[in-house]
Amino acid sequence: MAPLRFRIALSATLSMALPMALPMLLLASAPSIAEEAPRVQTGSVVEISYVMRSETGEVIGSSEESENMVFEQGAREVPPGLEAALEGLAVGDEKSVTLSPEEGFGPVDESLFHRVALEQVPEEGRTKGTRLMARDPQGNPHVMRVHEVGEEEIVLDLNHPLAGRTIQFEVEVVSIGEKAKRALAPSGAAPRAPSPASPPMPSGKAPSGTTP
């Protein structure tokens, strides 16, 4: 009978030890179920604070002067080189990146210079460097600058104002959301930079509805 009593005692010892060990096992495994922090990826709605500098280091745009940028990653709403630099970053990450014209706002495209009759541009806009807004025959808006003023014609430049320039960005990721929640993204985003791939005005056709 002694062996039987030994087995009973051993069984009781194990049954008492298990409840104490179980919480320890659960506690040890808890960190593995924590969710990973979201990172910038295609389709993310990203908010960044930024400082944009010219080749000489001059500040030509920043969140302090306007507001943070909010955009969809992968939708070409910001320069492609900036998208590439932000890929994989998490909230709070900072990065500095220098973009060539091809990575930034595109090289200067000579086909985007258009000659129009002087009377097609309002008199107050007939000064070199003046920025104008016009619509092409399809109704698409285009921002342009007066490049040259002649006696009978004006040359308009439809290139992005920063086309052909090397640009430096210093950015910090402020928030990362999902595309479906874009309506909840911070309001007042800085105006989006036109993509270098945005459709230009059809060649040889003068803009209509030009306004300063």
For residue 6, the 8-state DSSP code is: H
Assign domain 45-106+162-184 to its CATH architecture.
Roll (3.10)
- Domain edges within the chain: 45-106+162-184, 110-158
Which whole number is the average pLDDT over 52-61? 95
H helix or E strand, kind and range, residue 24: helix 2-29
Could you give the CA distance from residue 112 to residue 15 in angstroms, rounded to a whole number?
83
Instruction: Give the tens place of pLDDT for each residue, 140-198.
Output: 888 899 999 999 999 999 999 999 999 999 999 999 998 754 443 333 333 344 333 33
| Class in CATH terms, 110-158 | mainly beta
pLDDT computed for residue 139 by the predictor: 86
pLDDT of residue 34: 60
